[in-house]
Amino acid sequence: MKPTLSLGIWLLILALCTGCVVLGKNTEYQPFDPALLEPLLPGQSKAADVCKVLGAPSQVVELSNGNAYVYQRSVIKGTGVWLVLVSFLNGEEQHDRVVFFFDKNDLLTHYGMSLNAAKASYGFPF
Amino acid sequence: MASRSKLIATLAFFLMPLLLPGCITYQLLGGVEGGEVAYPSDRLVAGKTTLGEVLVLLGAPDKVERVEGGDLLIYQRAVLKRNQLSVGIPLAEFWRPGIDLAAYGALVRYDRLVLLFTPEGILSGAAYEKSSDHPYWKAMTSNS
């Protein structure tokens, strides 16, 4: 390979690889500890018991036969890569969420839990 | 002489990327919110499956809403993709109007499972949509 061509290719590679990478993470509150939920029993626990263990809910929804208390924590992970002409940005948001269902007497009837916040990951948008 | 112009052409080709930043940029943006949404249709039977069984099966819903005649549980995942191509010549120092062209297409696709329950907590209906597999370019180029 001719020296000029070789130099040119190295210059091109150097130029195209110039850029920066950013990794960011945003966490909203702390993750749930499933062990905290063990004393909460459907048919026995009241809304006040749930609030005593988990604190104030993120959201309260009035339902046709009672209320739902929603507890949510979020993790967002973002990745950014800026090259000379091209940039890639990616974000992933996952949640830990527990929803408690209460009847009209504030008695816990059911609850459902999804723990996905730890699954948020860095990556590329392709 | 020929070799000199060839050298200039070669250098111009390789140095062009150094001069282009700020003139041409391509940006690809992606985003995901929420986990995978499953639809175990064989285990969701209207008139039979209870709210408690759904919560054990699918976990906490993303949204809970009250509607006329019952309650909705919504499980949802959103997938965003955005492409942007910008072409501009930074002449603001010399000519205020400048030249700047940009084109972008953003698409948010949803996987969504909506479950309707009676006030007694019995499943009365279900609707499922999975659009995250829909091709980006097909969606961007269609008129619908």
pLDDT 10s digits, B63-83: 999 999 899 999 999 999 999
Mean pLDDT confidence for B103-122: 93
Query: Does the distance separating the beta carbons of A86 and B35 come in below 8 Å?
Result: no
Instruction: Report which of residues B119 and B137 the model is more confident about.
Output: B119
Q: What is the ipTM of this complex?
A: 0.82
What is residue A122's three-state secondary structure? coil
Q: How far apart are CA B3 and CA A96, in angstroms?
A: 66
Average pLDDT, chain A: 88
What is residue B63's three-state secondary structure? strand
Q: Domain for residue A5, yes or no?
A: no
**Structural domain count, chain A:** 1
Query: Does the distance separating the beta carbons of A116 and B25 come in below 8 Å?
Result: no
Query: Does the distance separating the beta carbons of A112 and B17 come in below 8 Å?
Result: no
Distance from CA of A103 to the nearest CA of B (A): 10
**What is the pLDDT, as a whole number, of residue B93?**
64
Distance from CA of B58 to the nearest CA of A (A): 8
**Which residues are registered as beta bridge partners of A27?**
A75
Q: Domain for residue A43, yes or no?
A: yes
Q: How far apart are CA A103 and CA A94, in angstroms?
A: 29
Query: Does the distance separating the beta carbons of A90 and B31 come in below 8 Å?
Result: yes
Which domain covers residue A27, as residue numbers? Answer: 19-119
Q: Domain for residue A3, yes or no?
A: no
Instruction: Report which of residues B22 and B117 the model is more confident about.
Output: B117
Q: Domain for residue A34, yes or no?
A: yes
Q: Domain for residue A58, yes or no?
A: yes
Residues lower than pLDDT 70 in chain A: 1, 15-18, 30-31
Q: What is the CATH number of the domain that holds A110?
A: 3.30.1450
Tell me which chain B residues have a C-beta less than 8 angstroms from the C-beta of A74: none
In a 13 Å sphere around the CA of B88, the CA atoms on its Cβ side amount to 18
Q: How far apart are CA A90 and CA B29, in angstroms?
A: 6
